[in-house]
Structure 1
Amino acid sequence: MTKSNFQILLADDDEDDCMFFKDALDELSLSATLKTVRNGVELMDFLENNLSNLPQVLFLDLNMPRKSGTECLLEIKESEKLRRLPVIIYSTSSNLEVMDMLYCKGAQYYIRKPADFADLKFVINRTISLLKEKNVQHPTREEFVIQT
């Protein structure tokens, strides 16, 4: 995984959140490509059509139309071709029961969407650094939630 070709996929139906994410990513010293999809059906179609060129990471919103983020996570982790894709839950929810379930279902990390731009830059950078350091190993439950 070289710095110049880090591919990020963001699945989020909120246009403002997508722009906020893109702007934060642009300000980081990462050379990365961002692709966005707007709902769960579009996400799964994109992944199935790009099996030979999957992104290095998927940031996945939970509340999306047509197919929820949770449904997508389950499909990804049940697929032999997709299960190694690191899935970062990127949500406004802070429900501990939901977080525990997502951890058990194979999500890599959990980020509660920050309202502050500097915090967003921090969690994106921290997440990508962790992925590179840990070589996509599943973290302990204590390391699962990335906070500012």
Structure 2
Amino acid sequence: MMNSKNSAESAKGLNEIEPVKIILADDDKDDQELFKDALDAADIPSDVTAVDNGQQLLDRLKDDAEPNPDMVFIDVNMPVKGGRQALNEIRSDEKLKDIPAVMLSTSGHPQDIEDALSHGADLYIQKPNSFTGFVLLLKKVFSLHWAKTLTNPLKDFFFLSENNISKKD
């Protein structure tokens, strides 16, 4: 027999998914808006906080008044503190090291990808050339996240780009 609390929770509806709490670190305001619009278009319930550089990301993550996000997206190239340095500091911090970190870059160079993997990124996304490509990439990222694949990245799924997304589905 279900108690009233459980039935109330199940009556709330299976369609209501708790929004994913995301911090996006990207110095380009247009890219921040594109990211948010693509999440909306992908029907991914989310609560996005955008910051402009790696230092602001770390300040936000270390703020005890704020809960840790479910995931961070980090642009590789930013002023003040770049994405690689921010990732290194996140992975060396006992309280932050388990937060899934997705690196974003226009580069698809193998050395950049290998560098992100070796420094503890969970996923590396080459920024797409189209809005549709961004929507498809975010859908893939969150299907991996919800399947818990991001907590132990597989090399096959580590690098996503608009060109290889259809090959992996």
Regarding TM over 0.5, the answer is yes
TM-score scaled by structure 2? 0.82
**Which structure shows the higher helix fraction?**
1
Q: Which runs of 5+ in 2 are unaligned?
A: 1-15
> Where do residues 1-148 of structure 1 align in structure 2 (5 Å cutoff)?
3-50=17-64, 53-134=67-148, 136-147=150-161, 148=165
Answer yes or no: is the 8 Å Cα contact 1:3–1:30 preserved in 2. Answer: no
> How far is 1:38 from its partner?
0.3
> How far is 1:120 from its partner?
0.2
Q: Match of 2:95, SS? A: coil
| Structure 1 residue identity aligned to 2:89 | E
| In structure 2, distance between residues paired with 1:94 and 1:43 | 24
Q: Percent identity?
A: 34
| In structure 1, distance between residues paired with 2:121 and 2:65 | 19
Q: Which runs of 5+ in 1 are unaligned?
A: none
Answer yes or no: is the 8 Å Cα contact 1:113–1:120 preserved in 2. Answer: yes
Q: Which has the higher contact order (CA 8 A, sep 6+)?
A: 1
Q: Match of 1:134, SS? A: coil
CA RMSD of aligned residues (A): 1.6
| In structure 2, distance between residues paired with 1:143 and 1:26 | 23
Q: Match of 2:18, SS? A: helix
- State the Cα deviation string for residues 53-80 of structure 1 (Å, max 9, x = none): 1111111001111001000000000110
- How has the CA–CA distance of structure 1 residues 70 and 131 changed in structure 2, closer, same or farther, with 3 Å as cutoff? same
Answer yes or no: is the 8 Å Cα contact 2:60–2:66 preserved in 1. Answer: no
TM-score scaled by structure 1? 0.93
| Structure 2 residue identity aligned to 1:94 | G
| In structure 2, distance between residues paired with 1:111 and 1:136 | 13
Q: Match of 1:106, SS? A: coil
Answer yes or no: is the 8 Å Cα contact 2:19–2:47 preserved in 1. Answer: yes
| In structure 1, distance between residues paired with 2:143 and 2:23 | 16
Q: Match of 1:63, SS? A: coil
* Higher Rg: 2
